[in-house]
Amino acid sequence: MGDAYLALSAELTEDQHWIAFIDAARNARKQFPEYRRIHKKAAQLLSEFSTVAQKLASLLAELQRTNVRLPVELQRHDEDIEVYFSPSESQVVRDLKGLRFLERALIQHTANSGTPLDLGRYLIKVSKIAGQFPVDFACPGVEAAISTRQDSKKTAYLRAFGALLKYSSINLSAPVVRAMAITANVILDDVDLSISEDTVRKALKRS
């Protein structure tokens, strides 16, 4: 690791960047195949949630057209109530907890306005949002690692490493790339994986 230190000495001029480099090297080592599986499952669930919400909206509209007496929560209301998603509520959708969010929003709106939320319109709105919402992880390292089609331990680690360094505003200059190669060989500690500077550059370019 002495060579890595020498390579970085002229590049990392602030303590926070040294800390960021060490953290990136450590945090880039994750079980990325599991993240790929979770990502695929989340995309499937979000799509299903969108479909189910749209189906519920259609069923409710059909039920309302029968003109039978319905609880006020299922009645149609003329007021066009706009539903806004704060960043925290969008995160709820991201985490596939839309039903819990829906329940909370209904209760909150009723408490604030004294009138029930138009459930049909709200379901349509939630369905559209769920259908368009990007499926990703908050960690840039994970996103970079699983964004490539090649499910390689070496490539995934290097892409995550590079993304975390960029996130910490560390330029991936030639000395940094050299230090990444040295560090990766130490961290991965696999005799079957020989990581050179060229290996790092190719991994960072691969999509």
- The structural domains of the chain, with segments of one domain joined by +, span 2-33+137-205, 40-132
Q: For residue 100, what are the CA distances in angstroms to 133, 174, 176, 178?
A: 17, 49, 45, 48
Q: How far apart are CA 183 and CA 99, in angstroms?
A: 44
The pLDDT, as a whole number, for residue 195 is 92
The pLDDT, as a whole number, for residue 179 is 95
Residue with tokens 């602030």: 14
DSSP state of 111: H
Number of Cβ within a 10 Å radius of residue 33: 12
- The pTM (predicted TM-score) of the whole model is 0.64
Tell me the torsion sign for CA atoms 2, 164, 28, 157. negative
Q: What is the mean pLDDT of each run of 10 residues along the chain (207 residues)?
A: 87 92 93 89 91 92 89 71 47 49 58 66 85 84 84 90 94 94 92 89 80
Judged by phi (left if over 0) then psi (alpha if -120 to 50, else beta), residue 87 lies in alpha
Q: How far apart are CA 146 and CA 32, in angstroms?
A: 7
